[in-house]
Amino acid sequence: MYKTEKARPTLRSVRKQLFLMTVGFVALIIAVVAIVTTLIFAKTDSLLKSKVISLTSSLNVQMKLNLDSYLSRMETVGTLAFGVKDAYTYDASDPDNDEYEALNTEKDITDELNKLCIMDNFVDYGIVYRNNRTVGKISNGTTNLLGEDMFDKLSAMITRQRTKDGWAAGYLGNFKRIYYVKRVHENALIVLSFYTSELEAVFDNPETLGDMDIRLVNSDYNILYSARKDETGERLNDDILSRVKGKASASVMDDYYLVTVNSCGDDWYVICSIPTEIILAENNEMRIFIIIIALIAALTAAGLGMFISAKLTSPVKRAVSLLDVKATTDQLTGILNKQSFNERTAGRLDPKLGSESHALILLDLDNFKGVNDTLGHVYGDKVLAKTGSILKSEFTTEDYLGRIGGDEFCVLVNSTPPEGQDYISYITERCEALKTAFTGLYTGDDSNYKISASIGVSLFPKDGTTFDELYVASDKALYRSKKAGKDTYMFYDRTKDSEVNG
Amino acid sequence: MKCKRLLAGLTAFSMILSAGSCGNEQLVRSQNVQTEITLSWWGNDTRTEYTLAAVRKFEQLHPEIKVKCNYSEWSGYEARSRIRMISDTEADVMQINVSWLSEFSEDGTGYYDLSKVSDVLDLSNFSEDYLRYGVRNGILNAVPIAMNTETVYFNKTIFDKYGLSLPETWDDLFAAAEVMSADGIYPLSGVAKGLWLYSIAYAEQKTGKTFFTENGEPGFSQDDYRTMIDFYVDLVNKNVIPKTEDFKKISIASGAYAGTIAWVSDAVNYLGAAMDNGNEVIAVDYTAFDPADSGKGWYEKPATLYAMSKNTDHPKEAALLLDFMLNSKEWALLQGVEKGIPISHSALDYLEEAGMLTGLQYEASEVMANNLNLREMDPRLELTSVIDAFVDACDLVLYDKATADEAAAQFMAVCNESF
């Protein structure tokens, strides 16, 4: 990149402004799309969360109703035992019982109780007396669990004083069964139980909500039922517990979990939970879709904007470019004007780059004043224009060509000689070519006015390392060419040119 | 040209819009439809737990099938099963007792003909000798799981404490009771059915008759029934056993009972807690007058069988489950020897590979397999009504409400009506 570009601040400034405008426009489009997209995300998240909370809350209520209904039915079946007269009048712990009659009464009660519970999956459905004698169906599992003082342990499960009954699970850490106990009379309790796994049907959630964890916990937040069998009996994990602890009916949703809770029965709670990321998984797919659409929209808008911008600014660019050309170019010759040439040349010559070779060729038309005076300025201008053409044809686009005075031209040779040719020879060749080009140059109405040029050449870095140094050197060489009879070229020679000057 | 560009631009824009909108399209979301089949069984906690776990494994392997389970402990299960069978609401796949075959499938049509699903149910794992237990009138109604018999188990730790050897004869039992009763310990115990079959074994050995003759007729006279009643009353009165109504399984673990009678398949259920308490429990030879006659008067039968409902709407799915229950590695390893030593060759191989052919139930199975005197049980020996009548008759004598002869006569009337 030539430092010379600094020489066109106006054009640079205009281009920069255009670039900034374009970038600003694209940024604006992206910002608008990003803001709109963010607003859409926020709104859809809000709507989705609201709907999911509502649905989950409804599911939880439905599960609670299912459970209430199930437990109520169990209680009803238990209460049916009061339809068996002996069941609420007989007392096996009465020491006055006739043993044989008692035996037969117990058989009768057992038969009647068995009929009442026959179609349900009860593990226990029987009566336990204060002396721990049992009638009906009392399972080995329950006998093993509660041991010899079964009556007292079952009595402790009664929590509702009005109906003298209660539900219990987790005795001694055993969560296999859920018990319902109801007092029959002072010395008798009816006890029924079912396997906790029976609640699978109660808490069977739809396939579409398969990721939802549904748990039943007691007042200590120990899990009585969970579809994850391994956590039955465990304490509800802290992540879920911290969100619902102390709440009887609530729905909580944050970045990590959606949890709903509803109390039921004897201080039991139905708790539904699902990680938020699962809920938002589908939403994330939608987000990706929206982002893709937004990107397409943004790119389309930006492309369209850039296209329109380019269309709108191209006349300005052209005008600016034209002005720039006019500002830097000599209109008559089509080569650089003095200021531009000086700036570019000064920018190109770097004293630190001593290994580079340049030549500054200073060319002055011989007797040009005579042309103007004799033939008029029209012919003079033609000669100047022709000189510009000659310079363009004899030098490459790498070289800087400039008109630096009325009839004074300057060339900074930047091009390098072909391989095998030394630099002096190369420059000499260029000068010879220039001289030859002027050899057949005539002007005037009859084309009889001979035009020639005197040329002075200095070399970088030998004769100078700055434009000013080289210019002075070339000027001295040019002077020597003039003195030698014009129409020739001279290389700066420190010894000779010192004499000249001296 | 400009119009074309504009048109192209509008088209592209409308395509983008249409891609992002679903406007008025009807949204249809289908649920996976599962075929629901039902499975019923009876059993203790252990059986229920592993069965539920195995069913879940089956459902994982066959997500298109949902298995609804119906289960409870034995008490009351038989009556429920009867209602289900009579009301055509029985489960698609059922655990059944061998006696139900004659009760519900006299002509072989009461249960599904399993030979029709032999493309799904691999019957090659079962020898004909065992499959015949499930055949009624030439039709394969059920497949047996394992063989079973009532077996006597003694808590050797308690007997050692008293310096007694484990009873082999009836007299040994009474002798043991004389020693242990001072401490309120019974050398033996049992539920009604166990003591009923125990009394039959005693009476058959004593009379030389069989309860049913070879042609299926009742083989016992009133005197023979009285022999059974007397034996039971003797057992109670001489503190060999508690009355069956007073039987508490927990007393086995507590050491109040030094022995019990239980099915091979129930050994751990009844005696597991006692063993957990550090007692050594032994499955002994079947009690007899002479140890050389051990097994005479004793009967064996399939532990339980699996059958399918004759009314099932989903025979293929039911057969898939049945095959999984009988022959799969998953089920075999979960079930272990809980129901006895599996008859299915593949299930047996899986257990052998896993080193699971050990423990009290395996030892009891070995006692059964090594005894050549055991005979095939007539299903009528398990009729609850007859067993209850026997206990009632015994109670009459125990409580001096009737003489042994009167009780035997009353009981014989029930037998004649039932058989």
The pLDDT tens digits of the residues spanning B8-39 come to 555 555 555 555 444 556 666 666 788 999 99
Alpha helices in A353-487, H assignment, sequence order? 368-375, 377-394, 423-439, 467-483
Instruction: Kindly indicate whether the domain formed by B35-146+303-335 is annotated with CATH number 3.40.190.10.
Output: yes
Position A161 in a domain: yes
Q: How far apart are CA A480 and CA A458, in angstroms?
A: 12
Which tokens belong to A333?
Answer: 């010759």
Given a cut of 60, whether residue A385 has pLDDT beyond it is yes
Dig out the tokens for B291 from the structure: 């140890």
Query: Do residue A140 and residue B395 have CB atoms under 8 angstroms apart?
Result: no
Of the candidates A388, A386, A381, A383, the residue with the CA atom closest to the CA atom of residue A403:
A388
Interface mutation target, options A36, A44, A103, chain B, most CBs of B under 10 Å: A103
Q: Are A322 and A432 members of one domain?
A: no
DSSP conformation class of A361: E
Q: Is residue A333 part of a domain?
A: no
Instruction: Count Cβ atoms below 10 Å from residue A283 Cβ, excluding itself.
Output: 16
Burial (CB count within 10 angstroms: exposed 0-12, middle 13-18, buried 19+), residue B237: exposed
Closest by Cβ to A103, choosing from B245, B249, B388? B245
Do A356 and A321 belong together in one domain?
Answer: no
pLDDT tens for A38-55 read 888 888 878 888 888 888
The pLDDT of residue B29:
62
Q: Where are the domains of chain B?
A: 35-146+303-335, 150-300+373-418
Q: Same CATH fold, B150-300+373-418 and B35-146+303-335?
A: yes
Number of domains present in the structure of chain A? 2
Helix (H) or strand (E) holding A68: helix A9-79
Beta carbons of A114 and B79 less than 8 Å apart: yes
> Which residue has better confidence, A168 or A377?
A168
**Which is it for strands A213-217 and A268-275: parallel, antiparallel or unpaired?**
antiparallel
Kindly state whether residue A408 falls inside one of the protein's structural domains.
yes
Same domain, A273 and A409: no
Question: Which pLDDT score, from 0 to 100, does residue A442 have?
Answer: 76
What's the CATH number where A413 sits?
3.30.70.270
Domain span including residue A194: 1-328
List pLDDT tens digits, range B221-265. Answer: 999 999 999 999 999 999 999 999 999 988 999 999 999 999 998
Cβ–Cβ of A207/B29 closer than 8 Å? no
The band of A119, judged by pLDDT with boundaries at 50, 70 and 90, is confident
**Chain B partners of A148 at a C-beta cutoff of 8 Å?**
250
- CB contact under 8 Å between B250 and A293, yes or no, is no
Residues 6 or more apart whose CB falls under 8 angstroms from that of B110 comprise B85, B101, B104, B136, B141, B310
Q: Residue A488 domain-assigned?
A: yes
Q: Which residue has the higher pLDDT, A23 or B206?
A: B206
Contact A363, A452 (CB under 8 A): no
Task: Clarify whether residues A249 and A366 are in a common domain.
Answer: no
Cα of A259 vs its chain's centroid, Å: 30
Mean pLDDT of chain A: 86
Residues of chain B neighbouring A139 (CB-CB closer than 8 A) = 44, 73, 75
pLDDT tens across B94-137, in order? 999 998 998 899 999 999 999 999 999 999 999 999 999 999 99
Judge if A368 and A296 occupy the same domain. Answer: no
Of the residues A298, A328, A358, the one at which a domain ends: A328
Q: Average pLDDT of A360-381?
A: 86
- Interface residues on B facing A, Cβ-Cβ cutoff 8 A: 9, 12-13, 16, 19-20, 29, 31-32, 44-45, 48-49, 52-53, 68, 70-73, 75-76, 79-80, 83, 245, 248-250, 253, 269, 273, 388, 395, 399, 401
pLDDT reported for residue A118: 85
Question: Under an 8 A CB cutoff, do A121 and B16 touch?
Answer: no
Nearest CA in chain A to B270: A140
Domain presence at residue A47: yes
In Å, how far are A125, B178, B186, B245, B395 from B190, measured between CA atoms? 22, 19, 11, 10, 15
Question: Distances in Å between the alpha carbon of A352 and those of A29, A312, A356, A398, A460?
Answer: 48, 44, 9, 20, 11
- Tokens read off for A191: 């006890």
Q: Output the pLDDT for position B14.
A: 52
Would the CB atoms of B32 and A207 count as touching at under 8 Å?
A: yes
Q: Of A328, A357, A391, which residue is a domain's last?
A: A328
Between CA B95 and CA B71 the distance in angstroms is: 10
∠ CA A41-A44-A47, nearest 5°, is 145
- Are both A475 and A391 inside the same structural domain? yes
Quick one: A172 and A284 in the same domain?
A: yes
pLDDT value of residue B363: 95
Residue A355 shares a structural domain with residue A303: no
Query: For residue B3, is pLDDT > 70?
Result: no
For residue B56, how many other CB atoms are within 10 A of its CB? 13
Burial of A106 (0-12, 13-18, 19+ CB in 10 A): buried
Encode pLDDT of A224-277 as tens digits. 999 888 898 999 999 999 999 988 889 998 889 999 999 987 689 999 999 988
Buried b / exposed e along B99-109 (16+ C-beta atoms within 10 A): bbbebbbeebe
Q: How far is A141 from chain B (nearest CA, A)?
A: 7
Q: Are residues A284 and A146 in the same domain?
A: yes
Rounded to the nearest integer, the mean pLDDT of chain B is 92
In this prediction the ipTM stands at 0.77
Domain assignment of residue A371, yes or no: yes
Q: Residue A446 has what pLDDT?
A: 67
The rounded Cα A249 to chain-centroid distance in angstroms is: 39
Last residue of a domain, one of A296, A328, A360: A328
Dihedral over Cα of B173, B175, B180, B182: its sign: positive
User: Beta-carbon neighbour count of residue A162 at 10 Å?
Assistant: 5
Chain B positions in Cβ-Cβ contact with residue A140 (cut-off 8 Å): 44, 73, 249, 269
Contact residues on chain A for B32, CB-CB shorter than 8 A: 207
Amino acid type, A19:
F
Are A124 and A268 within one domain? Answer: yes
pLDDT band, very low/low/confident/very high, at A501 (cuts 50, 70, 90)? very low
Overall CATH class of domain B150-300+373-418: alpha beta
Residue A80 has pLDDT above 50, yes or no: yes
